[in-house]
Structure 1
Amino acid sequence: MDELASPRGLRLRAPRSLVTGLWLLVLVAVWAVAVRVLKISEFILPSPGSVLEWIATRPGYFLTATLSTLRLTLVGFGVGIAVAIPVGFALAKIRWLERALYPLIVFLQTMPLITIVPVLVIWLGYGLTTTSILVAFSVFFPVSVNTILGVRSIPHNLFFVTRTMGAGPIQTFQYIDWPMALPYLMSGFRISLAVAIVVAVVSEFIASNDGLGYVALRGVRNRDTVQIVAAVLIAAALGVIINSAAQYIEQMILKKYRE
């Protein structure tokens, strides 16, 4: 039985979560003590209490900003994987296409996203379209590469067996390509989601009028360190929640296919 699905696996996960929570509490305690003992100015580093108070007095404001960032992350992620998966399968199946396009994909991936922001803003203006493209761009490479690796990992004798049994391309994809490549795809999804959250916040900072990135930008403009730290902490918490949800979904999907 898969350990993740076993009672033992469940018991092992609980202490790990507890340790993570304790570490977070320790970090917050060290932060609070350092600010008080070293008498650090609120302008340089606000105390945890000041940050929590700032958030508590503006719950609707931060909820709206968080939902905006979440929407951007999911939209950009969805667009990115919708393009990356078919491209990855095509490059894995058609060698000459991979030789022609893979260098271009690597070139685009190594190009800093910040360099294309001015062009996108000129073409599309500020808002969800521009920021979604930036997030989708960051998602495309890890998902497409993992798709290629997943398809290439399939033993060739499986394709030979399916052909001798008269299976067509659709059946081969349904019963061989997709299930065998799925673990690689899920890994690519998890990696790209972590990247997508970061890119979403940064893109809101430079090319949007809403979201947690824009909240941080307003803090910079107002020289309000408390607002900046609050936005960063909420973005980090959102990232942890999304990553945990992604891991849970990955385990459920892979468990289903193993069965």
Structure 2
Amino acid sequence: MVARIDDLTRRKSATPASAGRQGRFGAFVKRSWPPVALLAACFVLWWVVTAAGLVKPYLVPSPGDTLRVILDKPGYFGFHTWVTTYETVLGFGIAIVVGVLAAVLMVSSPAVEKTVYPLLLFAQVIPKIAIAPLFVVWLGFGLTPKIFVAVLMAFFPVVISMVTGLKSIDPEMLQLSATMGAGRGQTFRKIRFPASLPYLFSGLKIAATLAVTGAVVGEFVGANAGLGYVILQANGNLDTPVLFAGLFIMSLLGVVLFVLVEVLEYFVLPWHVSRRSDSGAVATI
């Protein structure tokens, strides 16, 4: 009898965890299937349009031709994808470090914020494709100007989201920490920085995709490697399958970086992710 009661107790205690996992999986599936279905529908429409001959193959290649080009030249696309990935990741990383430091400095000093914020806005509204040639003239045709353009593209959303997060703290919480004798450093480490992370990750998701765009824009201006170089060469040769292949890989690179940021957010801020995306599942448990 005692053994049966213990067995029932163990089953009852394990049920919430199992139900929670099932609920989170169900929420993930429910959240993921609409974009997956839309993407699949776009590919089907692309295939139908090309298979029916509604457009000329030299204008819009079929999905099969695009995939065949990638499979026929794995080394070619692999090398140029690696170059763009290196430029993107390095520029993205520099933008994170510089953006976070600039945001902390701006929040710590209102005078600095009033001075720097208009300059940031002015730099952001300038089209990067217009100033990219200057970076090539100043920095040469190597990787440096491409990385610099990627930094400029990704920097603004990082610093703005971080500033917003650092300013979103409840004033009563800051008063409480001051009353308990916490210094500015302790308040920043224990209250301000953790509370700003959800805002920061929102900015990082935007910055990840913009970093890819920045690297490709830099390659458009002057490069002998990278996906931007592939796209320009294909455009000049009217090779639309290679052009579509470069665009597809570039888009895939941005999606992968976005997903990696989301995965990192899940591990760094599990409480935030579960509250935002799985609250409905939890409520049903």
TM-score, scaled to structure 2: 0.83
State the 1:24 CA deviation.
Answer: 2.6
What corresponds to 1:82 in structure 2?
97
Give 5+ residue unaligned stretches, structure 2.
Answer: 1-15, 275-285
CA distance in 2, matches of 1:94, 1:9: 42
CA distance in 2, matches of 1:20, 1:156: 39
* Contact 1:28 1:48 (C-alpha < 8 Å) held by counterparts: yes
State the 1:166 CA deviation.
Answer: 2.9
What corresponds to 1:135 in structure 2?
150
Residues 1:35 and 1:81: Cα distance change in structure 2 (over 3 Å): same
State the 1:215 CA deviation.
Answer: 0.9
CA distance in 2, matches of 1:7, 1:185: 29
| Residue aligned with 1:126, SS | coil
CA distance in 2, matches of 1:76, 1:146: 18
State the 1:101 CA deviation.
Answer: 1.5
What corresponds to 1:176 in structure 2?
191
CA distance in 2, matches of 1:255, 1:98: 31
State the 1:226 CA deviation.
Answer: 1.0
| Residue aligned with 2:174, SS | helix
Picking from 49, 55, 59, the partner of 2:64 is 49
Q: Which has the larger radius of gyration?
A: 2
State the 1:117 CA deviation.
Answer: 1.2
State the 1:158 CA deviation.
Answer: 2.4
CA distance in 2, matches of 1:43, 1:26: 23
Q: For structure 1, which segment, 175-184 or 23-32, has the greater mean C-alpha deviation from structure 2 after superposition?
A: 23-32
Aligned length: 256
* Contact 2:234 2:240 (C-alpha < 8 Å) held by counterparts: yes
Q: For structure 1, which segment, 135-144 or 6-15, has the greater mean C-alpha deviation from structure 2 after superposition?
A: 6-15
Q: For structure 1, which segment, 30-39 or 221-230, has the greater mean C-alpha deviation from structure 2 after superposition?
A: 30-39
TM-score, scaled to structure 1: 0.91
| Residue aligned with 2:201, SS | helix
CA distance in 2, matches of 1:190, 1:49: 31
CA distance in 2, matches of 1:95, 1:40: 57
State the 1:213 CA deviation.
Answer: 1.2
| Residue aligned with 1:116, SS | helix
State the 1:246 CA deviation.
Answer: 1.4
Percent identity among equivalent residues?
34
1:122 aligned onto 2:153: no
CA distance in 1, matches of 2:172, 2:33: 46
CA distance in 2, matches of 1:95, 1:220: 49
Picking from 192, 195, 209, the partner of 1:194 is 209
Deviations 1:26-85 (A, max 9, x none): 222221221122352221111111111111111121122222221111111111111111
Alignment of 1:108-119 (within 5 A): 108-119=123-134
CA distance in 2, matches of 1:49, 1:151: 49
1:206 aligned onto 2:221: yes
What corresponds to 1:249 in structure 2?
264
* Contact 2:198 2:272 (C-alpha < 8 Å) held by counterparts: no
* Contact 1:150 1:185 (C-alpha < 8 Å) held by counterparts: yes
State the 1:216 CA deviation.
Answer: 0.7
What corresponds to 2:239 in structure 1?
224
State the 1:188 CA deviation.
Answer: 0.9
Picking from 115, 136, 141, the partner of 1:100 is 115
CA distance in 1, matches of 2:213, 2:174: 39
* Contact 1:208 1:214 (C-alpha < 8 Å) held by counterparts: yes
CA distance in 2, matches of 1:153, 1:17: 30
Give the residue type in structure 1 aligned to 2:178. Answer: R
Deviations 1:168-202 (A, max 9, x none): 33222210121011111111111111211222222
Give 5+ residue unaligned stretches, structure 1.
Answer: none
